Amino acid sequence: MAQEYDYLFKTIVVGDGGVGKTALTIRFSKGIFTEDYKMTIGVDFHVKTISIEIDEGLITCKLQVWDTGGEERFGSIRPMYYQGSLGAILVFDLTNYASFEHLLKWIEEVRTNIKFEIPLLLVGNKSDLPDQRAISMEEINQFAKDFNLYYIETSAKTGKRVDDCFYVLTCLMAGLDIAEIKLRL
C-alpha cells in the first residue's frame, strides 16, 4: 500500500563539487555516511517522507531530493533537472573558501532555470572540522542577510543538523512560519 502524504516537494541540492551534497542527501534519506563517495554524474535522486507538527496536527511531506553534480562539466545538463523544483539547498564547504565565493553563481543558476521564486536554504557543511574552518560567521551571516536566506550548519559525517536543513526547507516550501514549527527530529 502506498504511503499517503499531504505534500509532494521536488527539491534540488546544488553547490560546488566536493562540498558534501551527496553525503547530505544520503545521510538524510538513508541515515548513513561513508568516506568514499563517488562524484555525482549529472544527478542522483532520493526520496524520504517526513512529518511536521503544526497547531492543527501533523502534515506529511514526501520529498524528492535531486542531488546535482557540482563540477563545471555538468553545467550544461544540470538545468534540465531543475524543472518542477519547489525548493533548493545551496551547499558550501565550511573549510573551502572558494565554495563560499561560488554561491552567487549557484543562486543565479537556480533562478535562471526556475522561472518563479522558490525558497533557497543556505547550508554550510563539514561543521565537524572546526580547526579547518575557512569562512567566518560574520561573512556567512552577511551573505545570508544580503540574499534573504535561512542558514544552517551541518555535518553529514556526524549527522548534526542534517535533518534540520531538510525540515526547514520543507516548512519554507509549505509556506509555514519556521518560528512556529516544532521540528520532529
* Structure-block grid coordinates of residue 179: 518560528
Residue 29: enclosing H or E segment and its boundaries? helix 21-30
pLDDT of residue 103: 98
pLDDT at 128 over 60: yes
Confidence of residue 2 (pLDDT cuts 50, 70, 90): low
Residues 23-39, mean pLDDT to the nearest whole number: 83
Residue 42: enclosing H or E segment and its boundaries? none
pLDDT of residue 115: 84
How many whole angstroms separate alpha carbon 94 and alpha carbon 154?
A: 9
* Greater pLDDT, 39 or 179: 179
Residues 101-110, mean pLDDT to the nearest whole number: 95
Domains of the chain with bracketed CATH: 7-134+150-180 (3.40.50.300)
H-helix segments, 96-183: 97-101, 103-113, 137-146, 162-174
- Taking Cα atoms as reference points, which of 95, 163, 171, 166 lies closest to residue 126? 95
* Greater pLDDT, 178 or 32: 32
Instruction: Look at strands 87-93 and 7-14 and give their pairing.
Output: parallel
Share of the chain above pLDDT 70, in %: 85
pLDDT at 183 over 70: no
The mean pLDDT value of the chain amounts to 88
pLDDT of residue 56: 82
* Greater pLDDT, 62 or 34: 62
Residue with cell 501533523: 58
For 45-63, the pLDDT digits (tens) are 899 999 998 888 889 999 9
- Measured in whole angstroms, the distance separating CA 30 from the mean position of its chain's CA atoms is 15
